[in-house]
């Protein structure tokens, strides 16, 4: 059997095909490495237009937080004051994060200032699936989840938070 040399066009086409294969393989490897964080990021971008939010400085993103506010059982009354005492101060400020000069300006030292900061940056009243706070406390991956270095909030705390947001995030 005799082999004929490939023409220049065939070599170029083969090279382009090979380069394309390498690019696709690299992207697939990147997906494997980044795993859930990448998928979450893509989902955030893909769902950007699903929330009703008039804050132009905050990207819109709605995802299923995995909490059904009609059937979940809150660990305590789903009010801001109860969340402040039972969750925000012990789990968020108590971990040394959201106290004093806190990241993003969210400190739970002052209840009124914290409430204003939550509504300005992290909570979309009546829409738990569009609220960054709810998405972060329910996310199972440690790269996005709050609190980042401690245990995840239990289901009752997550439910209380989601119900508070779903009911309008009132003070």
Query: CA–CA separation, 25 vs 3, rounded Å?
Result: 30
User: Which of the residue ranges 46-50, 67-71, 132-136, 152-156 would you say has the lowest mean pLDDT?
Assistant: 46-50
Q: Is the pLDDT of residue 5 over 70?
A: no
pLDDT, position 61: 54
Residue 21 has what pLDDT? 52
Which has more confidence, 45 or 107? 107
d(CA 2, CA 64): 61
Residue-wise pLDDT tens digits, 16-30 = 445 555 665 566 566
List the chain domain ranges.
7-46, 80-166
Lowest mean pLDDT among 54-68, 101-115, 135-149, 155-169: 54-68
Q: What one-character DSSP code corresponds to residue 54?
A: -
Model confidence, pTM: 0.65
Any residues with CB less than 8 A from the CB of 159 and at least 6 apart, and which?
Answer: 67, 69, 72, 73, 74, 75, 78
pLDDT of residue 97: 86
Is 135's pLDDT higher than 80? yes
């Amino acid at each position: 059997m005799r082999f004929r040399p490939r023409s220049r066009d065939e070599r170029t086409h083969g090279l382009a095909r090979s380069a394309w294969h390498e690019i696709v393989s690299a992207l697939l490897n990147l997906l494997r490495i980044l795993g859930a964080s990448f998928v979450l990021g893509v989902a955030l971008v893909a769902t950007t237009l699903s929330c009703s939010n008039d804050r132009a400085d905050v990207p819109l993103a709605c995802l299923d937080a995995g909490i059904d506010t009609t059937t979940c059982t809150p660990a305590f009354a789903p009010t801001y004051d109860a969340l402040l005492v039972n969750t925000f101060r012990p789990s968020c400020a108590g971990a040394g994060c959201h106290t004093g000069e806190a990241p993003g300006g969210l400190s739970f030292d002052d209840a009124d200032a914290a409430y204003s900061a939550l509504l300005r940056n992290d909570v979309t009243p009546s829409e738990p699936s569009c609220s960054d706070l709810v998405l972060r406390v329910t996310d199972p991956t440690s790269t996005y989840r709050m609190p980042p270095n401690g245990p995840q909030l239990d289901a009752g705390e997550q439910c209380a938070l989601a119900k508070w947001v779903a009911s309008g995030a009132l003070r």
